[in-house]
Each structure stands twice: as C-alpha cells, then as structure tokens.
Amino acid sequence: MNGKLIVLEGIDGSGKSTQYRLLLERLRQNNVDFRSTVFPRYKEESSALIRLYLGGAFGEKPSDVNACAAAAFFAVDRFASYKQDWGGYYENGGLILSDRYTTSNAVHQGCKVPETELGEFFDWLYDFEHVRLALPKPDLVLYLDVDIETSLRRMRRREAATNTKADIHEKDVAYLENCLRTGRLAAEHYGWHRVDFMKDGRERGVREKNDEIFTIIKKAGLV
C-alpha cells in the first residue's frame, strides 16, 4: 500500500522554504503523522555530483551541463534518499512532505531546453524518474509563483543574512528568468496547483498563502 506524497516547488526566492516550514508546523499542530524531506541533500554522498555542478566544477554557467546530464545528478540523490530514508515508510502508507522533488528537474533543467522541445523533455523526465528509477509520483504538487524582481531581492537578502555566496544557478539572472518561465509551463503541463504571490495588485501575506496551501491539501484528501 503506497502512501501519499506532497511536494512544494518553486524557483529560488519564491518563499518555498518559508511555506514548507509553516506547513510542517501546521501538520504537527493537527497531529498528522508524516515525514519530511528536503532536496538536494547537500550533506549526503549522493549529492556529490550536484555539489560539483553547482560549485562550477563542470563549467561556470548552468548551460555548460546539458539538461539530461544535470537531471541525472539530482535524480540519483532522490533515488538514494528514497532507498535509505523514507521509502519503507511511504510504502507502508505514510505521508511524505517534500521541499523540492523530481519537479525541480522540470523547472531548473527544463529551462535549458528550447520551448518547442519542452513537452518532449517533460515526458522524458517523467519516464526517467518515475518509471525507470521507480520513484513515487507526487499526489499533489504546489507550485509557488513569484516574479523575478522579488526572487532576486529575497535571494540577495538571504545571502547577506547567512553570509553565503550564490551558486551558478542563483547568480545567473537570465537562467533564473528562464526557470520562472519554464516553471509556469511545467505547472500547466503536469497539472500542478499554482499558488500566486500577488492578489488584487498586492503581494500576498505569508499566512494567507499558507492557508490556501493547507486548504488545497485538505480538499485533495491528503490530510
């Protein structure tokens, strides 16, 4: 008996990590039995190629590594996580909440593919991760939309607060703009639930968006 898998997805600076943290708190407050995971798992051996790639070892631009090769780096980390961490719990009917998942390859690697070939890439990616690698398919994907200005402002603020440097994805503005465009196309292609960050000409509050997210999850019968 397979369990249930909820995924939060969005480009850097979309507010995804904040919504993930609030959702963890909400599930605990509602006494929901679940497990959580975050991708990539930078501290694990399975993320070695991811760290090399994002650190610029294979090239200083994201485009220096083609979409399929980079997708494989991230997929291997997810496969290891499923086998080592949460697969047994999920297969026994457990609920998993994931910050990023196979969906991230669609957004962050799909942006390297010409738009005329995106549908083919999305289908290849689905087959690669969910059929060939047999990773569980998400029951619900919540895509947090944002604009590029807000994304960049949040990322730079985070870097200043944590005294960290941007990786090759985060410092390439053109790449991030492509990710945003591709994320919206992926949401439409796969049928993800899009959570808008603006309403009636204003930026929505964090709690307002979290209320919407939790309502969508409840309506889907996942909690």
Beta pairing partners, 171: none
pLDDT tens for each residue of 199-212: 998 999 999 999 99
- How many domains are there within the chain? 1
The two beta strands, 202-203 and 198-199, are: antiparallel
pTM of the model: 0.93
Q: Which of 50-64, 154-168, 187-201 has the lowest mean pLDDT?
A: 154-168
Average pLDDT over residues 106-125: 97
pLDDT tens for each residue of 62-79: 999 999 999 999 999 999
pLDDT tens for each residue of 45-60: 999 999 999 999 999 9
For residue 16, the model assigns a pLDDT of 95
For residue 172, the model assigns a pLDDT of 84
For residue 162, the model assigns a pLDDT of 80
Whether 5 shows a pLDDT value over 80: the answer reads yes
Note down the domain range covering 13.
4-219
Distance, CA of 57 to CA of 52 (rounded, Å): 5
Q: Using CB atoms within 10 A of its CB, is residue 185 exposed (0-12), middle (13-18) or buried (19+)?
A: middle
For residue 152, the model assigns a pLDDT of 85
Closest to 220 (Cα-Cα) out of 155, 157, 139 = 139
pLDDT band at 92 (very low <50, low <70, confident <90, very high): very high
Amino acid at 136: P
Average pLDDT over residues 177-198: 96
For residue 109, the model assigns a pLDDT of 98
Q: What is the mean pLDDT of the chain?
A: 95
Q: What is the CATH number of the domain that holds 197?
A: 3.40.50.300
Q: Which of 53-62, 145-154, 163-172 has the lowest mean pLDDT?
A: 163-172
For residue 157, the model assigns a pLDDT of 82
